[in-house]
Chain A
Amino acid sequence: MRARGVIQLALLAFLALAALMVAVPPVRAVDAQGPAADAKAFRDYFVSKFPKVKLEDFVNGPYSMNEDMRRQWEEKEQFPPYEFALEAGREMFSKPFGNGKTYADCFPNGGIGIRQNYPYFDAKEGKVVTLELALNRCREVNGEAPYSYLKDEMASLTAYMAFTSRGKPFDIKIPDDPRALAAYENGKRYFYTRRGQLNFSCAGCHVQAPGERLRAETWRPRSASSTRCRSIVPNGAAWAPQADASSPATARPARYRSSRNPTNIAISNIICPT
């Protein structure tokens, strides 16, 4: 479980950087082959692949490249189907712990509008801290049991917090610290490594196949999303509670969903460039 957490955190660090390339300019170049160079390569790759998509629109994923989908999304946003989860998250966030304190006591700015700053590298601890980890630490410090990273409570809670950050671009910093860079490299390796019976990697879908279709869905480019960037993109873009929060994609490192899952079978029909 501990090892799984380390991988998850490392992956988050890498994915967060991918979001950075669209949201804000790289903070600084750590080295020629490091995060800043990777961010530039990502940007160049996707801009070249989708020349008609404006840079600032990549964050809207498939909605940036399909007019019909965009229209449907905008209409859906008028009566968002995810409001129930946001409301649940808001109630959870506001409800005091047994000792009378709340989540707001654990975070800067009372936990409102801060989602874009996670994950961050804690130099004191020497590790990456995700929002989910910070939330569970807050719970534990206040005498509450931590939430599962895979279930609805964490999803709703982080969805609410992310919602309060709408319009704020990610601001993830990767310090020039060997431990931070090691975490970044771990995440990068995880992102590109193929695994599972069908031999897929994260990159296989989100780098090689964006714009392609998987049944009714269109793959979004990696540049358009980190683990949860849809929750906080400018202009109030889409948010999908179950898809974004608790992020199963980053929470199942060693074992994967059954390849007998019909979704996976459909994926196998996609021809990826070599």
Chain B
Amino acid sequence: MNGTTGMISMALLAAGLLTSSMPAVAASEADFKAAFAAAEAAEKEAGGLRNQWTTTESALAAAKKAAAVGDFDSATASAKEAEALARASVFQATSEKERWRDLEIH
């Protein structure tokens, strides 16, 4: 694995996950909607790169499910997690456009 790429990728992911798990004041429906929209936009970008992750889809689904029962704390947290995952997948797809050659056998 390319060390720098991997570390940056993991750092992005960790930052996203950390942010999503930080305690905060109770989230509102508006918070959820904003977080979900951001996550969906990032996931759409990943889709454009043909690199959507199942984990992102799971987080989005979890966000929707939680929002449906009015648990906007969990819904917002899941949406933020989904956004972090989607952004990481975008990063991966972008960097791998050239990085894949690093693994090639010559």
Contact = CB atoms under 8 A, between A and B. Distances in A.
Nearest to B9: A199
Contact of A272 (B1, B54, B105): B1
A257 B92 CA distance: 17
Given A193-B96, A197-B88, A272-B1, A203 B103 contact: yes
Interface string A37-58: 0100110010000000000000
B21 interface: no
Nearest to A203: B103
B103 A207 contact: yes
A248 B57 CA distance: 20
A189 B88 contact: no
Given A258-B55, A260-B55, A272-B1, A199 B105 contact: no
Interface string A256-274: 1111100000000000101
A196 B105 contact: no
Nearest to B96: A193
Interface stretch (B28-36, B45-53, B64-72): B45-53
Nearest to B104: A192
Interface string B77-96: 00000000100110011001
Contacts of B19: none
B105 A41 contact: yes
Interface in A193-216: 193-197, 199, 201, 203-204, 207-208
Given A189-B100, A274-B1, A274-B3, A41 B52 contact: no
A255 interface: yes
Contacts of B53: 196-197, 255-256, 259
Max count, chain B CB within 10 A of own CB: residue among A194, A256, A272: A194
Nearest to B99: A194
Secondary structure type dominating chain B contacts: helix
Contacts of B57: 255
A231 B67 CA distance: 49
A93 B51 CA distance: 37
A129 B79 CA distance: 42
A192 B101 contact: yes
A1 interface: no
Nearest to A260: B55
A38 B105 CA distance: 7
A12 B27 CA distance: 48
A201 B105 contact: no
A204 to B, nearest CB: 7
Contacts of A42: 105
A199 B103 contact: no
Max count, chain A CB within 10 A of own CB: residue among B3, B93, B106: B106
Interface in A10-46: 38, 41-42, 45
Nearest to A193: B100
B50 A194 contact: no
Interface of A: 3, 38, 41-42, 45, 188-189, 192-197, 199, 201, 203-204, 207-208, 253-260, 272, 274
20 contacts: A3-B50, A192-B100, A192-B103, A194-B100, A195-B51, A197-B53, A199-B1, A208-B103, A254-B51, A254-B52, A255-B52, A255-B54, A256-B53, A256-B54, A257-B54, A258-B54, A259-B53, A259-B54, A260-B58, A274-B3
Interface of B: 1-3, 6, 9, 50-55, 57-58, 85, 88-89, 92-93, 96, 99-101, 103-106
